[in-house]
A = this chain, B = another copy of it.
Amino acid sequence: MLGMREEKMPELRQDIITGNWVVIAKERAMRPSDFSVQSVCATEDLQNCPFCPGNEPMTPLELYAVRPKGSPPNSSDWEVRVIPNKYPAFIESEMFSSSKYNLPKRDSRGLHEVILHSPEHCLDIATLPREKVELVLRVYRIRYYSAGLDPEVKYVHIIVNHGMESGASLEHSHSQLFGMPFVPPLVQQELAGSSWHMKSRGNCIFCDLISLEMEEKERIVLQSDSFLAIAPFASRFPFEVWILPRIHRESFADATDEELEELSSVLKEVLRRYSEGFKNPPYNYFIHSAPTDGSDNSYYHWHIELFPRLTRLGAFELGTQMMINTTTPEVAASYLRGQVLQ
């Protein structure tokens, strides 16, 4: 056990994959009940929700959907629906190449899709039936694979923002897929760290981390045959969780049907525990996976990173690109382990 004195002391922890340092510093005596950011779903105004069934004309034409046989595209009897983002961060078409400014810029080429989880406005991944979550994950894999075929797309980033505080601008539960024209900085850091580890040790750094976490046990949130959910040692956020496939696979596209079935349970269960532990908090998750740029990334290991949005980033974090986390991962894992169904 940590002594009282030690428990209050800030410490620096390094993520072994990226090399990034995090300050773990207890602000006051933060208990889980001290966090009270709630994300309440307001069901009143559904006729104006562009993602609710019946409002398909309010969205761009669909790219893909899970529907009954014979149901025409853009009709309202879909189960999962994929549409282009109306206000894209990355766009498919060729555009202007203005040389108006003397500073470096380029076209934001790529894809930006929205994946509607279900016709139900308020059911998120935590509250949808497991089979429906599995369906969403299968749609992820289909769209991930399809986006990766686009020669402009070098990296596919799939995310969820749940609740306004998490960055969501529309309430109806949905994911976003970004087909990016380059590998983003944080993934480049992970690639560099895992490539270095493979070259110097001959192992996948994520596989080594899984072994170490299975041995230390203290940061395990839950485990299944094929997945391990841990509170990472250098967690950037309070109650951050990583879900790692226990079998080495570089890309989310390589996940098997059986793995997606199991993942649907694990993902739903972690989010259910957030919901249970913090009364439906806003949360984010994203998938980190190998680039789709044709390079050899066999040393990489895909995974999901999740965190409830219980605290706010300030000028320390935004001015240093370094996080202060007020909850130790060991406390977080212990708390999340306790949030089992009664």
Contact across chains for A319 and B159 when beta carbons are under 8 A apart? yes
Contact of B176 with A9 in the complex, beta carbons under 8 Å? no
A315-330 CB mask vs B (1 if < 8 Å, else 0) is 1111111101000000
In angstroms, Cα B205 to Cα A167, docked, is: 34
Contact: A91 with B9, CB < 8 Å? yes
Q: Mark A185-196, 1 if CB is under 8 A from B, else 0.
A: 111010000000
Contact of A104 with B by CB under 8 A: yes
- A124 proximal to B (CB < 8 A): no
In chain B, what residue has the closest Cβ to A237? B318
Chain B residues, Cβ within 8 Å of A98: 2, 6
A107 to B23, CA, bound (A): 10
Within 8 A of B (CB), among A2-47: 2, 5-6, 9-14, 16, 20-21, 23-28
Residue pair B101, A233 in contact (C-beta under 8 Å): yes
Instruction: Assess the A10–B90 pair: CB atoms within 8 A.
Output: yes
Q: Which residues of B contact A187 (CB under 8 A)?
A: 320
| Given A103-B212, A103-B233, A319-B157, A167-B312 contact (CB < 8 Å) | yes
Q: How many chain copies?
A: 2
Chain-B contact segment, one of A63-71, A248-256, A282-290:
A282-290
Contact, CB under 8 Å: B321 / A11: no
Q: Is A314 an interface residue (CB 8 A)?
A: yes
B104:A14 contact, CB within 8 angstroms:
yes
Shortest beta-carbon distance from A294 to chain B in Å? 20
* Nearest B residue to A163, CB-CB: B312
Contact A321:B321 (CB < 8 A) given known A11-B107, A312-B164: yes
How far, in whole Å, are A24 and B182 apart by their CA atoms in the complex?
A: 16
Contact yes or no, A314 B108, CB < 8 A: no
Across the interface, A315 reaches (CB within 8 A) one of B28, B96, B102, B161, namely B161
A216 within 8 A of B: yes
A96 is contacted by which of B6, B159, B189 (Cβ under 8 Å)? B6
Closest residue to A87 on the B side, CB-wise? B27
Partner of A16, one of B20, B104, B212: B104
A214 part of interface (Cβ distance < 8 Å): no
User: Which chain A residues numbered 151 to 190 have a C-beta less than 8 Å away from chain B?
Assistant: 157, 159-161, 164-169, 176, 178, 180-182, 184-187, 189
Q: List 29 A-B contacts (CB under 8 A).
A: A6-B95, A9-B107, A10-B90, A11-B108, A12-B105, A12-B107, A12-B181, A14-B104, A16-B104, A20-B185, A23-B108, A25-B88, A89-B324, A103-B234, A157-B316, A160-B315, A161-B314, A161-B315, A164-B312, A167-B311, A167-B312, A180-B320, A185-B321, A186-B320, A284-B314, A284-B318, A286-B318, A286-B319, A305-B319
